[in-house]
Amino acid sequence: MIDGSRDRLERLLAAVVAWSKSVGEALGHMWRRSLQLRVVVSTLTLSLIVITILGVVLTSQITDRLLDAKINAAVEEMTRARNTVENQMTGVHDSSTQAIRLQDALGALSSGSTSQSAGAAGSYKAALAMVGDGQQELTAGPIQDVPAELRRFVQQNQVSYQFTTVSDPEGYRGSALIIGSPSNEVATLEIYLIFPLSNEERSRGLMAGTMFIGGGVLLVLLAAITALVTRQVVLPIRSAARIASRFADGRLKERMLVRGEDDMARLAMSFNEMAESLSNQITQLEEFGNLQRRFTSDVSHELRTPLTTVRMAADLIHGSSDELDPALARSAELLVTELDRFEGLLNDLLEISRHDAGVAELQVESLDVRMCARAAISTVRHLAKESSVELVVDLPEDPLVAEVDPRRVERVLRNLLANAIDHSEGKPVLIRMRGDTEANAVGIVVRDQGVGLRPGEEKLVFNRFWRSDPSRMRRSGGTGLGLSISVEDANLHDGRLEAWGEPGLGASFRLTLPLVRGRKLGNSPLTLEPPKRKLLTAESAALQGDPETSATEGASSTAGEAESPSAPEASSGPGIPGAESSSGGGSSDGGRSPSGAGTPDGAEPAWPAEDATSGEHGAAGADSARFDDTNGSAAGTGSAVGPDSAGGDRDSTPPAPPAASGNGAGSSDDSAIDDTGGPKP
């Protein structure tokens, strides 16, 4: 039973606490959102403080004045009482006669205190004391109410008074003024008058009550006046805030109502003028944007017809280059190469115009995302070979199925790989993929150890036509639109494209896409920033006696079979577990050698493995790269580009494809646009 009562009490306390918390949150919300409430409460608080201070000061002053008047009246009354007592006691020497005369004097004083002769001091009670002939003290009246300290002063021939608390048989108990005086005629005679302060206490109570009621009424009136005044100011401000919010939502015709010629009217007129100016500028910018997009689209479409004719002629000449002299043959080859770049520019402009017009559509398929990575690697293999850059591929061993547009995902990875190769300065480039079914995410990281990004550039890296170093030589060519298109492609998938970089430590780009469309995208299974530790090469790890790395020296990690029949021959790299690497262009799936051997158990890669933990779809494949010891990774500045971002890269350039052969099948950075229903001549 005790436990049940305790549980009920705890539940009751919990309910009270929850209710108090909710009420506090509601009041806090009202306080933050209501300017009128804050002004009214502040005014009332300050007014209450002022009224309280004034009340205390006034009460103290009035009380002091009442007591001063009481004391002055008591002194006058004491003078009359002393004369009366001295007349009664003069000439008396016998002790018995002194006691009788003392009582007679007390009776005379008592009758006088109740008559109109009492004056302004009011009624009082008298007490008398004297020393008789036999040195015996004679008293009359309530001498016990007189404080001993006051009697000492009177016995020293001083007229004194004191405030104290007294009580009488009639039931009164309260404050009283006692004034005492010695006699000038009768030695040792002490005269005391006791004045109750009941009238003064009633007056002070009445005054305090009146001030309290008046203060309360004044506070209510102040609250009403303040609320009325602030309402006149707050209502136009609320109207302005409401209209500004609607204006920000795109309702450009919203305007404030102008009333009168005061400050609020001038504010309304200024706001309306500003809104009209902004509306006109927004309309003009929209028209200019539409014209620009239409011009870009029209020019791109119109240029494809002559480009096709020139392409056919160039392919015809290039096909007969063996019969031409070397200078003409070289010119034909350069012509075909530049036509490829020109076609890539047109494709990029067309794609940007589609995104700007909001007509870009996804052609979603449920497929293995590793296929997109392999296709992108095959496309940029020639760039890696020309740059002597080793591609390190770390893909899951098991299929990683997601609902994506393969053309767009391949293009994003192709652009990321081409930019990484351009800025790698001959050092390895890693592409890693992992999946996580719980987070509904597939993460793909492309990382290099090249020039990196300066602080703040990760915020500019996806802007159109932005370049980190315009004077830098690039092998992939491009228009500066590659990563801008990549961001738009990631946004179409409801995914994210993020960047990180630090000068001298390289850059890292992470693409995160949902496995299943329509479900919430969680965190990426891969980290964006590399670990804060020094990277070791596979050779240095073996030389240092790393047992795990040394145990893998016999594992086959050659450049593997190509993803495309047209892939150039791969050169083999050193035995590095967990990933396939191609020095100079060969690249294949991570975690499998051409012979089908998997990653040896316990092998540790030279690439940092902090994000090698795969999701449900990813095998725990390891990384591999030949990174020099002095160029380890460290934390830098990261930047996420989500669905609302727009953009370019440190070099927002798509890769230039390999030179076309003489069969007329020239390719471009985004040649898949025509193959999937894009504009054709």
Better-scored residue on pLDDT, 489 or 543: 489
What is the C-alpha separation between 88 and 97, in angstroms, rounded?
11
**Long-range residue pairs from 287-293, CB within 8 A, at least 24 positions apart, any chain:** 289/356, 293/353, 293/356, 293/357
pLDDT in tens, 395-430: 999 999 999 999 999 999 999 999 999 888 889 999
Give CA separation, 99 vs 84, 93, 95, 125, 152, in Å: 16, 10, 6, 18, 22
Question: Which sign does the torsion angle of CA 483, 487, 490, 495 carry?
Answer: positive
Q: Encoding tokens for residue 53?
A: 């201070």
| 245 burial level (CB within 10 Å; 0-12, 13-18, 19+) | exposed
| pLDDT, mean of residues 498-519 | 92
Pairing of strands 637-641, 496-502: antiparallel
Phi, psi for 97 (deg, rounded to 5):
-65, -35
DSSP class of residue 663 equals: T
Give CA separation, 426 vs 419, 542, 584, in Å: 13, 23, 9
Domain boundaries in the chain? 1-31, 81-197, 255-360, 361-657
What is the C-alpha separation between 67 and 70, in angstroms, rounded?
5
Q: Is the pLDDT of residue 331 over 60?
A: yes
pLDDT in tens, 289-305: 788 778 877 777 788 78
- Give the Cβ contact number of residue 631 at 10 Å: 16
Class for domain 361-657, per CATH? alpha beta
pLDDT in tens, 615-639: 333 333 333 333 333 333 333 333 3
CA gyration radius, the chain: 50
Question: Which sign does the torsion angle of CA 535, 381, 469, 431 carry?
Answer: negative
Q: Which residues pair with 196 in a beta bridge?
A: 176
Which range is least confidently modeled, 144-148, 384-388, 566-570?
566-570
Which range is least confidently modeled, 22-26, 61-65, 482-486, 546-550?
546-550
Q: Is the pLDDT of residue 378 over 50?
A: yes
Q: Encoding tokens for residue 487?
A: 């961001």
**DSSP per position, 85-151:** HHHHHTT--SHHHHHHHHHHHHHHHHHHHTSGGGGGG---EEEEEEE-TTS-EEEES-GGGS-HHHH
Strand order from edge to edge, sheet including 160-167: 137-140, 125-131, 190-196, 173-182, 160-167
What is the C-alpha separation between 576 and 535, in angstroms, rounded?
14
Q: Domain 81-197, CATH 3.30.450 — does that match?
A: yes
| pLDDT, mean of residues 55-72 | 89
Q: Is the pLDDT of residue 445 over 90?
A: yes
Q: What does pTM read for this prediction?
A: 0.46
pLDDT tier for residue 96 given thresholds of 50, 70 and 90: low
Contact 494, 517 (CB under 8 A): yes
What percent of the chain has a predicted confidence (pLDDT) above 90?
18
User: Per mean pLDDT, which of 156-160, 169-173, 532-536 is the most reliable?
Assistant: 156-160
pLDDT tier for residue 384 given thresholds of 50, 70 and 90: very high
Chain mean pLDDT for the chain: 74
Pairing of strands 125-131, 190-196: antiparallel
The reported pLDDT for the residue numbered 353 is: 76
pLDDT tier for residue 609 given thresholds of 50, 70 and 90: very low
| pLDDT, mean of residues 377-395 | 92
Q: Is the pLDDT of residue 111 over 70?
A: no
The reported pLDDT for the residue numbered 429 is: 95
CATH number assigned to the domain covering 255-360: 1.10.287.130
Mapped to the 3 state alphabet, what secondary structure does 314-379 carry? Answer: HHHHHHCHHHCCHHHHHHHHHHHHHHHHHHHHHHHHHHHHHHHHCCCCCCCEEEEHHHHHHHHHHH
Would you say how long the chain is, in residues?
681
Q: Which residues pair with 28 in a beta bridge?
A: none
Q: Is the pLDDT of residue 496 over 90?
A: yes
Contact 255, 242 (CB under 8 A): no
- Of 528, 500, 508, the closest CA to residue 447 belongs to 508
DSSP class of residue 458 equals: G
Question: Which sign does the torsion angle of CA 155, 156, 158, 164 carry?
Answer: negative
Contact 600, 369 (CB under 8 A): no
- Of 579, 309, 307, the closest CA to residue 430 belongs to 579
pLDDT in tens, 163-208: 988 877 666 778 888 999 998 887 788 888 888 888 888 888 888 8
Q: What b/e readout covers 473-508, taking b as 16+ CB neighbours within 10 angstroms?
A: ebbbbbbbbbbbbbbbbbbbbbbbbbbbbbeebbbb
Alpha helix positions (H), 249-262: none
The reported pLDDT for the residue numbered 465 is: 77
What is the C-alpha separation between 101 and 260, in angstroms, rounded?
91
| 405 burial level (CB within 10 Å; 0-12, 13-18, 19+) | buried
pLDDT in tens, 212-270: 898 889 989 988 998 888 888 888 888 888 888 888 888 888 888 888 888 888 888 89
Which range is least confidently modeled, 12-16, 262-266, 490-494, 636-640?
636-640
What is the C-alpha separation between 122 and 262, in angstroms, rounded?
64
| pLDDT, mean of residues 523-546 | 60
Q: Is the pLDDT of residue 586 over 50?
A: no
What is the C-alpha separation between 267 and 454, in angstroms, rounded?
45
Contact 372, 404 (CB under 8 A): yes
C-alpha distance across the termini of the chain, in Å:
90
The reported pLDDT for the residue numbered 115 is: 47
Q: Is the pLDDT of residue 555 over 80?
A: no
pLDDT in tens, 303-321: 878 888 888 888 888 888 8
